[in-house]
Structure 1
Amino acid sequence: MMEDFDEIYEEEEEEEDEDRAAEEQLLKYAPDPVVVRGSGHVTVFGLSNKFESEVPSALTGKVAPEEFKASINRVNGCLRKTLPVNVRWLLCGCLCCCCTLGFSLWPVICLSKRTRRSLEKLLDWENSRLYHKLCLHWRLSKRKCETNNMMEYVILIEFLPKIPIFRPD
């Protein structure tokens, strides 16, 4: 009886491997993700205070320009609310850094993390509301700057593979 159970388990495992291979095959042919870089003049811990609302050419025909601009404006609105506070705390932390042995920078580090989390939450909401239906996935990603050796946060728009509906189960 135990031998029969092992055989069934091995068959299910083979099916999972085939599904995983098919998914990797679909991902291999997906186009490269679109990178939306920050275009603001202030950057705090790699997070720019503004993203460009012009639709990248790779997204033409995939998403309406009005929807793209509305999403970027929501992201910029979130940044507009939180980054000025982060900058004030950063200045205060830098002024008091010598006296506090660096502990005065903790509030700005925590606020920066909170800002990133709120942006990720906003992008998740945008994905579930619209972009997953369009086979797109927006996420915040840390990338190396093109001009220097520092890191920056960018919005990465990935193309989700379309599931072949004619493939048998």
Structure 2
Amino acid sequence: MADFDAIYEEEEETNLDENYHAMTAPDPVIVRGAGNMTIFGLSNVFNTEFPSGLVSRVAPEEFQATITRINSELRKTLPVNVRWLLCGCVCCCCTLGCSLWPVVCLSRRAQSSLTKLLDYENSRLYNKLGLHWRLAKRRCDSSSMMEYVLLVEFVPKIPIYRPD
């Protein structure tokens, strides 16, 4: 009868629930830059080839449309960055490196505009399909340099029929 009023902690069950959610989501699909020019790790074009990890999760036409929107945004922003980079490199000795600040600011603006575009695409379509796109910085395979890639993450499904 003494065990009737005893309070037991349920730490093991909560750890099992967290592990359950972590195990159900597969590895994200990585879309790498395929352009011939990279400024501060951001490529001027992303690969338009449909990845095999997204088969039966999203239509190839939707994937192509999203990549086309991303590439058109990059096409608008990166040529301006290249001009400012060349101008900054020419004037770098006279300005003690301060002439490169506009390039850094424009690069951050390009990353911000891509993030906003991906947020729009996520809210419009991909979150409903259980996917989440984001711009992430990853180490290159061939060198120790960093590059920006598109990650398509799978949002794990929450088991609504499982008790709390």
Using structure 1 for the length normalisation, give the TM-score. 0.86
Q: Does 1:70 align with 2:65?
A: yes
Q: Which runs of 4+ in 1 moved over 3 A?
A: 17-21
Q: Does 1:150 align with 2:163?
A: no
Query: Match for residue 119 of structure 1?
Result: 114
Percent of residue pairs bearing the same amino acid type = 67
Query: Match for residue 127 of structure 2?
Result: 132
Give the superposition deviation at 1:28: 2.7
Partner-residue secondary structure (3-state), 1:68? helix
- Distance in 2 of aligned mates of 1:21 and 1:114: 42
1:81-103: per-residue Cα shift (whole Å, max 9, x none)? Answer: 00000000000000000000000
- Structure 1 segment 5-16 matched on structure 2, within 5 A: none
Number of aligned residue pairs: give it: 156
- Structure 1 segment 1-169 matched on structure 2, within 5 A: 22-169=17-164
Partner-residue secondary structure (3-state), 2:147? strand
- Distance in 2 of aligned mates of 1:22 and 1:123: 30
- Distance in 1 of aligned mates of 2:84 and 2:18: 45
Could you tell me which runs of 5 or more consecutive residues in structure 2 were left unpaired when the two chains were aligned: 1-8
Check 1:57–1:98 CA distance in 2 against 1; reply closer, same or farther (3 A cut): same
- Distance in 2 of aligned mates of 1:74 and 1:18: 44
Check 1:18–1:104 CA distance in 2 against 1; reply closer, same or farther (3 A cut): farther
- Distance in 2 of aligned mates of 1:19 and 1:125: 34
Give the superposition deviation at 1:21: 5.8
1:46-74: per-residue Cα shift (whole Å, max 9, x none)? Answer: 00000011110010110000000000000
- Distance in 2 of aligned mates of 1:66 and 1:137: 17
Partner-residue secondary structure (3-state), 1:163? coil
Partner-residue secondary structure (3-state), 1:138? strand
Give the superposition deviation at 1:24: 4.5
1:69-126: per-residue Cα shift (whole Å, max 9, x none)? Answer: 0000000010000000000000000000000000000000000000001101110111
